[in-house]
Amino acid sequence: MRVSRLRRKPSKLATATAATNPSRLSVVTPGKKKFVRLTLWPLVAATFFMVSGGTYGTEEIVHGAGYGRAILILLLTPLLWSLPTAFMIGELSSALPHEGGYYAWVRRAMGNFWGFQEAWLSLVASIFDMAIYPTLFVAYLVRVFPWFSEGHRGVMVGLAVVVVCSLLNIAGVKVVSTTSLWLFFLLSAPFALIVVIAPFKLGSLVGAVTTPSNSTVDIIGGLLISMWNYMGWDNASTIATEVERPQKTYPRAMLAAVMIVSLSYVVPVAAMWMTGLAPSAWETGSWAEIAGMLGGPLLRIGLVLGGMMSAFGMFNALVMSYSRLPLAMAQDGMLPKVFGKLHPRTRAPWVAIVVCAIGWACCLGLGFERLVTIDILLYGASLSLEFAALVWLRIKEPELPRPFRVPGGMFGAVMVGVTPILLLGFSILRSQTEQVLGMSSFSFGMILIGAGVLAYALNHKLKPAGWSPLPKTEPAA
């Protein structure tokens, strides 16, 4: 996340104010070597894994809402939740393609305190998110090779996933995005087969005997899970300085990713509806069993391998996203300078990657469940700050060049955030029923949010003179 193209005197907020005049953009590197940058489709693939990771995760929605309402939820959620967010990201990424993305936008619009809170919310949320993906990888692996469930073998495999993804990220964004592109095609292949086979199996699974489901998800829970499955669009913004022509690429990538993610959810579910399989047969992780009933053991194995690729791809892409937050904060002086160290060849923030990876690896053995409402609460708080930054920058810097604008002028900029924030309010009301450590998810989430205020105060006390922005290399457009 990055630098502005507005020609004005630089402010003290270096991340959010360095010039991005296209005629002057360059990358200062040893020997003037030009580094490879992401183009449209690799960015779309990386965004796909930052948000979705494939059709996995839709099972509970079908169980709680039934096929028809599940498809309706999966169609309406991107319209009311994802598309407004994609519009907001499209405008801010094209206007301010800075290191750190959403952190830089909020900091420029609203100051140091809110910028710090934006980064805090995202990094705390990553604790609940990132530890689960290596665990999911192992969960799918043991379905094919039960040997890995014995002793500490599963934990060792999880650590291997963390190490491999860290090395891929240190190798650079091009490696990560290309890996994401290939994983997308590979994990989509089994679902494509389901879509092809299902029309020839009309009503064939009406009386299918399945393992009794333990799911207690209702239609409202299905809606929350759908919101969870469609969140994370802003994660792609943190790598904007490493994207080719971000002003044009980001809006296109966001809209393309919304379409692809939506289709990846809706089409396979609609195909299974034709088979007559009862919605009560669905629960988390049941895609493999369902595929086995439809297409035999080979298709079941394909779904299991796809689940492994999904978990790996999500962790890999999110390491790339989250690691840019400590980098940007170090460049702004909010964290020690060591977090700003870049690999001399790939320009990857290798120190930030290694430190984050160690933190996530330490959480592997804690057995985190997907605390959906906690995720939505923390993500929603940070997303609300981003929508506020969109409006505030329209007021504060009306002349800021915006290659892509949310349509409708100021009214459009305000209204684009209304439905996502209303859905977030709904999720907060629901969070009162989920318990964490003997308290409601809402109370637990508010404690985490309040800790960000204390962390800021401690950071500021350690640097009473404030933060002195470091000189920053101007990114290429």
Q: What is the mean pLDDT of the chain?
A: 84
Q: How far apart are CA 87 and CA 387, in angstroms?
A: 10
SS3 436: strand
Q: How far apart are CA 380 and CA 372, in angstroms?
A: 12
Q: According to the model, what pLDDT value does residue 34 have?
A: 59
Q: According to the model, what pLDDT value does residue 413 have?
A: 94
Q: How confident is the model at residue 3 (pLDDT cuts 50, 70, 90)?
A: very low
Residue 126 class from Cβ within 10 Å (0-12 exposed, 13-18 middle, 19+ buried)?
Answer: buried
Residue 378: is its pLDDT beyond 60? yes
Q: What is the mean pLDDT of residues 200-212?
A: 76
Closest CA to 97 of 20, 28, 29, 184: 20
Q: How far apart are CA 473 and CA 359, in angstroms?
A: 28
In the chain, how long is the greatest CA-to-CA distance?
Answer: 71
What is the share, in percent, of the chain residues with pLDDT greater than 90?
Answer: 55
Q: How far apart are CA 320 and CA 434, in angstroms?
A: 31
222: how many CB neighbours lie within 10 A of its CB?
22
Q: According to the model, what pLDDT value does residue 375 have?
A: 74
Using an 8 Å Cβ cutoff, are 94 and 246 in contact?
yes
Residue 446 class from Cβ within 10 Å (0-12 exposed, 13-18 middle, 19+ buried)?
Answer: middle
Q: What is the mean pLDDT of residues 336-358?
A: 94
Residue with tokens 């994660």: 235
Residue 429: is its pLDDT beyond 50? yes
Q: According to the model, what pLDDT value does residue 365 have?
A: 65
Q: According to the model, what pLDDT value does residue 274 have?
A: 94
pLDDT tens per residue, range 214-235: 555 666 777 778 888 898 899 9
Q: According to the model, what pLDDT value does residue 471 have?
A: 41
Q: What is the mean pLDDT of residues 153-181?
A: 94
Residue 468: is its pLDDT beyond 60? no
Q: How confident is the model at residue 209 (pLDDT cuts 50, 70, 90)?
A: low
Q: What is the mean pLDDT of residues 198-226?
A: 74
User: 56-60, 106-110, 413-417: lowest mean pLDDT where?
Assistant: 56-60
Q: Where are the alpha helices (DSSP H) in 281-431?
A: 287-295, 297-322, 324-331, 350-362, 372-396, 409-415, 418-430
Closest CA to 422 of 10, 172, 123, 80: 80
Q: How far apart are CA 212 and CA 471, in angstroms?
A: 60
Residue 175: is its pLDDT beyond 90? yes
Token pair, residue 232, equals 């994370």
The dihedral over CA atoms of 360, 363, 369, 370, expressed in degrees to the nearest 10, equals -20
Residue with tokens 């095609």: 185
The pTM for the full model equals 0.84
What is the residue-wise DSSP string for 90-136? HHHHHH-BBTTTHHHHHHHHH-HHHHHHHHHHHHHHHHHHHTHHHHH
What is the share, in percent, of the chain residues with pLDDT greater than 70?
Answer: 83
Q: According to the model, what pLDDT value does residue 436 have?
A: 66
Helical packing angle, 112-130 and 324-331, nearest 10°:
160
Secondary-structure class of domain 39-462 per CATH: mainly alpha
Q: According to the model, what pLDDT value does residue 476 have?
A: 37
Q: According to the model, what pLDDT value does residue 89 have?
A: 94
Half-sphere exposure of 287 (CA within 13 A, CB side): 29
Burial state string for 54-67 with b = 16 or more CB within 10 A and e = fewer than 16: bbbbbbbbbbbbbb
Q: How confident is the model at residue 128 (pLDDT cuts 50, 70, 90)?
A: confident
Token pair, residue 235, equals 């994660």
Domain segments of the chain: what residues? 39-462
Q: How confident is the model at residue 472 (pLDDT cuts 50, 70, 90)?
A: very low
Residue 446: is its pLDDT beyond 70? yes
Q: According to the model, what pLDDT value does residue 19 have?
A: 38
Q: According to the model, what pLDDT value does residue 424 have?
A: 78
pLDDT tens per residue, range 233-266: 999 999 998 999 998 999 999 999 999 999 999 9
Q: How confident is the model at residue 27 (pLDDT cuts 50, 70, 90)?
A: very low
Q: According to the model, what pLDDT value does residue 469 have?
A: 53
Q: How far apart are CA 222 and CA 185, in angstroms?
A: 27
Residue 198: is its pLDDT beyond 80? yes
Q: Are strands 435-436 and 439-440 parallel, antiparallel or unpaired?
A: antiparallel
Q: How confident is the model at residue 212 (pLDDT cuts 50, 70, 90)?
A: low
Residue 353: is its pLDDT beyond 70? yes
Token pair, residue 81, equals 């939740």
Q: According to the model, what pLDDT value does residue 14 have?
A: 43
pLDDT tens per residue, range 282-326: 887 789 889 999 999 999 999 999 999 999 999 999 999 999 999
Residue 465 class from Cβ within 10 Å (0-12 exposed, 13-18 middle, 19+ buried)?
Answer: exposed
